[in-house]
Structure 1
């Protein structure tokens, strides 16, 4: 099998490619990448997908390209929107010309301020179309619309995944790229203040990366043309609870520092995964304590 993995040098891609058997080509401009090591036998092309041209044929086109950290995409709104519009179009064209299976990682962000928790795939979303987060939220929604248009007009075999707050080793922690779990772990290990936006009562549902890989490989299987699935956890956790858990597990003396809330930040998030359980026979196996323990130990190794 020949795989084109777009954004394959990032956090999700670096874990997924280790579990794929076949000829793998990665296209990534490394703009958000920190912990990528090029492995022998993998064809790596450093380029934005928006500018990538190829006559190669692939069996799978896997599009993971995105700027998923809020601070990062707020700082790079144009690049974010273009990646999730022109970039998705270019990836779809490669898949169409190859008659490949096209797999896309969308985002739980497409639900916005969801009014149903846990949120099912049938929920249409409540998103500010021109707010500070819209460069990401709305471009992901556009990507989904374009992908389904390729299914309807060209009969392309497409699958859309909506991942919810995936975490684990290699999740970037620094600067505007830092995601909440990796940032908290870094701050705790360094003895810095744990920075929480808002009062910490907002919730997220976290999924360990090995569970994400398992679900993704199942979604690449047969008979799932046109499938849209949430891949995440239905167990909500308050951000303040996450911070205190990490402080306890790292035995850190860091203090919690509250920052002004982010604009348009969803107050709650959790995935309704009943559809994934039924279609994929999948559900998360790694609980938050186990996943945090592995992630903390990995960061201890790279930060020392």
Structure 2
């Protein structure tokens, strides 16, 4: 049995990871300020919490120094997922505050591990493909990204820079303390449970619009030609579990497919799943972000024995059904 602390454990990735680790017989502790996560994400199919919320869940702001010092002593492994992220509108309109918050969150967590975690058997940091250089993501049909291309660094956004600095500080933690670390770099993760409100990322936003149509227009930001390597949350969770066993001390490992899917194709698939006659509108005055990216996941396959398994169509159908159920239950959007 592992005792694992998951920062950001009430979010989409964290809640699914918690359920997986608990099902494997591990004890999970969670710290989350519930900015995007929700406590009901941690419920089983019968609505019962899968962890002891009184003793294993901690609502704390990790941007505050020493906020998780005492939690480090309770566990053997740490999966650091917590960060500030949202859709492209939020990311590019709040770059300064987002960068600062993520730097504080990462540095505070790592400092707590450095000071109180000499016993820690493994530290996994969740990075992002947004940290790769803009020069490798500024054409529509780029070659799949490789881990060794991170430097010279030139992320497009403050979010990408903040996550890259977290990777660097994670490497310093490993070098200084001897704690085995692993930097996992996620491509565009989708799935449920998720935020599908105004701060949501592209897939849940498009699904929400399709469900609400025609009361909400189906507008796609940008030309739709921009593309991403979309990876289902189940595949990401499997990658994290494998990294706890095989990835510690192995450096940077990407989790993402080798296929780049355009936002236009995502929009068309969502419309098809909805069964509605929806007119797709493209707003080219809105930001698109990086042009396109995909992953060379050969290192993940070699080191972890990992490769993506959930098809995009199946994953989108699952997320569509979850969001539709949430909207029909009349819960406030995005809460």
Which among 60, 63, 70 is matched to residue 77 of structure 2? 60
> Aligned partners of 1:113 and 1:224: how far apart in 2?
28
> Aligned partners of 1:125 and 1:196: how far apart in 2?
32
Name the residue aligned to 1:81: 99
Name the residue aligned to 1:123: 149
**Is the Cα–Cα contact under 8 Å of residues 131 and 154 in structure 2 kept in the other structure?**
no
**Is the Cα–Cα contact under 8 Å of residues 50 and 82 in structure 1 kept in the other structure?**
no
> Aligned partners of 1:150 and 1:264: how far apart in 2?
35
> Aligned partners of 2:202 and 2:170: how far apart in 1?
29
Q: What runs of 5+ residues in structure 2 fail to find an aligned partner?
A: 44-48, 137-141, 329-335
Q: Secondary structure at the match of 1:276?
A: helix
Q: What runs of 5+ residues in structure 1 fail to find an aligned partner?
A: none
Q: Secondary structure at the match of 2:307?
A: coil
Q: Against the structure 1 CA distance between its residues 145 and 59, is the aligned structure 2 distance closer, same or farther, given a 3 Å change threshold? A: same
Q: Against the structure 1 CA distance between its residues 262 and 30, is the aligned structure 2 distance closer, same or farther, given a 3 Å change threshold? A: same
Q: Against the structure 1 CA distance between its residues 229 and 30, is the aligned structure 2 distance closer, same or farther, given a 3 Å change threshold? A: same
* Pairwise CA distance, 1:222: 4.3
Root-mean-square deviation over aligned CA pairs: 2.1
**Is the Cα–Cα contact under 8 Å of residues 203 and 239 in structure 1 kept in the other structure?**
yes
> Aligned partners of 1:204 and 1:185: how far apart in 2?
17
**Is the Cα–Cα contact under 8 Å of residues 173 and 179 in structure 1 kept in the other structure?**
yes
* Pairwise CA distance, 1:75: 4.0
Question: TM-score of the superposition, structure 1-length normalised?
Answer: 0.91
Deviations 1:38-62 (A, max 9, x none): 6242422111112214334121111
Name the residue aligned to 2:190: 167
Deviations 1:33-85 (A, max 9, x none): 35634624242211111221433412111111112223233344344223332
State yes or no: 1:102 paired with 2:123: yes
**Is the Cα–Cα contact under 8 Å of residues 113 and 266 in structure 1 kept in the other structure?**
yes
Q: Secondary structure at the match of 2:237?
A: helix
Name the residue aligned to 1:265: 289
> Aligned partners of 2:34 and 2:59: how far apart in 1?
7
> Aligned partners of 1:276 and 1:285: how far apart in 2?
13
State yes or no: 1:92 paired with 2:110: yes
> Aligned partners of 1:49 and 1:41: how far apart in 2?
21
Question: TM-score of the superposition, structure 2-length normalised?
Answer: 0.83
Which among 200, 204, 207 is matched to residue 185 of structure 1? 207
* Pairwise CA distance, 1:20: 1.0
* Pairwise CA distance, 1:24: 2.0
**Is the Cα–Cα contact under 8 Å of residues 222 and 288 in structure 2 kept in the other structure?**
no
* Pairwise CA distance, 1:126: 7.4
Deviations 1:246-294 (A, max 9, x none): 1011112332222235557110111110110111111111111111111
> Aligned partners of 2:221 and 2:242: how far apart in 1?
35
Q: Secondary structure at the match of 2:149?
A: coil
Q: Secondary structure at the match of 1:272?
A: coil
Which among 289, 302, 311 is matched to residue 278 of structure 1? 302
State yes or no: 1:20 paired with 2:24: no
* Pairwise CA distance, 1:152: 1.9
State yes or no: 1:44 paired with 2:52: no
